[in-house]
Amino acid sequence: MDHFTYKNGALYAEDVALADIAKAVGTPFYCYSTATLVRHFRVFKEALADNNALIAYAVKANDTLAVLKTLAQEGSGADVVSGGEIHAALAAGIAPRSIVFSGVGKTRAEMEYALSQDIFQFNVESEAELHLLSTIASSLKKTAPIALRVNPDVIPQTHAKISTGQKESKFGVPIGEALALYANAAQLPGINVQGVSVHIGSQLTNLAPFASAFGRVVELVRELRKNGSAITTLDLGGGLGIPYGNTDAPPLPEAYAEIVKTATKGVDCRLIFEPGRVIVGNAGILVTEVIYVKHSETRRFIIVDAGMNDLARPTLYNAWHDIVPVKVDENAKTERVDVVGPVCETGDIFASDRLLRVPNAGDLLVFRSAGAYGASMASTYNARPLIPEVMVNGGEYAVVRKRQTYEELMQRDMLPDWL
From first to last of its 419 residues, the chain has per-residue pLDDT tens of 789 999 999 999 999 999 999 999 999 999 999 999 999 999 999 999 877 799 999 999 999 999 999 999 999 999 999 999 999 999 999 999 999 999 999 999 999 999 999 999 999 999 999 999 999 999 999 999 999 999 887 654 444 443 443 455 677 788 889 999 999 999 999 999 999 999 887 677 788 888 888 999 999 999 999 999 999 999 999 888 887 766 667 888 899 999 999 999 999 999 999 999 999 999 999 999 999 999 988 889 999 999 999 999 999 988 999 999 999 998 999 999 999 999 999 999 999 999 999 999 999 999 999 999 999 999 999 999 999 999 999 999 999 999 999 999 999 999 999 99
Q: Between the CA of residue 179 and those of 143, 174, 184, 266, what are the distances in Å? A: 21, 10, 9, 21
> How many whole angstroms separate alpha carbon 348 and alpha carbon 119?
40
Q: What is the pLDDT of residue 245?
A: 67
Phi–psi pair at 37, nearest 5 degrees: -60, -50
Omega before 342 within 30 of 0, i.e. cis? no
Task: Give the up-direction half-sphere exposure of residue 313: CA atoms within 13 A in the CB hemisphere.
Answer: 24
Contact 366/324 with Cβ under 8 angstroms? yes
> How many whole angstroms separate alpha carbon 30 and alpha carbon 410?
23
Q: What is the pLDDT of residue 241?
A: 82
The per-residue b/e assignment along 10-23, b for 16 or more CB within 10 angstroms, e otherwise, is bbbbbebbbeebbe
The residue type at 207? L
**Other residues' Cβ atoms within 10 Å of the Cβ of residue 262:** 12
269 catalytic, yes or no?
A: no
Q: What is the pLDDT of residue 206?
A: 80
Phi–psi pair at 244, nearest 5 degrees: -105, -5
What SS3 state is found at 230?
Answer: coil
Q: Which residues pair with 314 in a beta bridge?
A: none
Q: What is the pLDDT of residue 208?
A: 87
The residue type at 184? N
> How many whole angstroms separate alpha carbon 239 and alpha carbon 387?
27
Q: What is the pLDDT of residue 51?
A: 74
Largest Cα–Cα distance of the chain, in whole Å?
A: 73
Strands (E), 223-333: 233-235, 270-273, 284-295, 300-304, 323-325
> How many whole angstroms separate alpha carbon 289 and alpha carbon 123?
43
Q: Between the CA of residue 377 and those of 172, 272, 294, 310, 393, what are the distances in Å? A: 23, 25, 28, 8, 24
Please report the sign of the dihedral spanned by the C-alpha atoms of residue 358, residue 361, residue 364, residue 365. positive
Domains, the chain, ranges and CATH? 4-32+281-410 (2.40.37.10), 103-273 (3.20.20.10)
Contacts of 76 (CB under 8 A, 6+ apart): 41, 55, 56, 57, 94, 98
Task: Give the up-direction half-sphere exposure of residue 9: CA atoms within 13 A in the CB hemisphere.
Answer: 5
Phi–psi pair at 154, nearest 5 degrees: -110, 135
Contact 355/334 with Cβ under 8 angstroms? yes
Catalytic residue among 249, 344, 383, 410: 344
Q: What is the pLDDT of residue 224?
A: 95
Contact 26/402 with Cβ under 8 angstroms? no
